[in-house]
Amino acid sequence: MNNKGFTLIELVVTIAIIMIISIPLTNMFLFSSKVNALGREEMDGISAAKKYMEELKASKELFNIDSEEGIDYKKYKLYVDILGVERYASKEVTEGIEFNEDIKVLVLGEYNIKYSRDDINYTSVPESSLVIEFDEKKDLYINNTRVLKKQKKDLNLGLYFQDIVGLYDFSIKNFTNYTINIYILEPNLKRYEYNLEILNGRVNTYKNLRTTTSTEITPYILYKIKIDVEKNDEYITTLEGTKRFDY
């Protein structure tokens, strides 16, 4: 009788120990399964985004995608943002090219940029970025400071880089029916980098003005593509890339 009772107690204790051990093991298994599922979901989402981006890159059409509602693609919701980064105009340019600039911008170093309307009275900008906006009233603003008023013609802007080191950002916004022409003059030894973002409107960029021989600039616009991937209203991943469109 006592032996049977002792065996029953042992059984109960053993079951209790097994339950105590099995609960965290079960939770660990469930957590591992969830992580693996999320990993597969992310990989599948990346694969879908890559495939869609390749379709965009392969397209020969100039595209404009409204990403407010998202795009249903391979069981995922893709939110696509496409931004024109830099556009080149087809033009043969030489070192001695003549252009009448309305604004002259000198890039003398990081946190040392200045601009002028008359090549005499310069305004200094103690930072490494410029936001240039040609608004609906035909007024030109540089970093929120009005520089020109009622400019009712195409705007010519000379951008002169010295032999400098640094990273620079230039954003161009054109809300008029005129064109902003940007003439970029660079030293022979280029030791800096810059990003020129055309956020709105008609902008032509003329580069390689430091050369002494004629240089043909192929006309194209470079786009930056960003794709956010979601499924069932849950964010999964983001993929970024670029596309060149020749026109």
Give per-residue pLDDT as tens, 85-143: 655 544 444 455 667 889 999 999 888 899 999 888 899 998 899 999 999 999 999 99
What is the arithmetic mean of pLDDT over 190-218?
Answer: 71
Please give the structure tokens belonging to residue 48.
């879908």
The DSSP bridge partners found for residue 123 are 115
The rounded distance, in Å, linking the Cα atoms of 186 and 117 is 20
Tell me what percent of the chain is helix, strand and coil, each rounded to the nearest 5.
25, 45, 35
Per residue in 154-197, pLDDT (tens digit) is 999 999 988 888 889 999 999 999 999 998 888 877 788 888 88
CA atoms within 13 A on the CB side of 71: 17
Record the pTM: 0.48
Residue 129 burial (C-beta neighbours within 10 Å; 0-12, 13-18, 19+): middle
Judged against a pLDDT cut of 50, whether residue 214 lies above it is answered with no
Segment 206-221 shows an average pLDDT of 54
**Is the CB of residue 203 less than 8 Å from the CB of residue 172?**
yes
CA dist list (Å): 129 to 69, 135, 137, 172, 197: 33, 19, 24, 11, 11
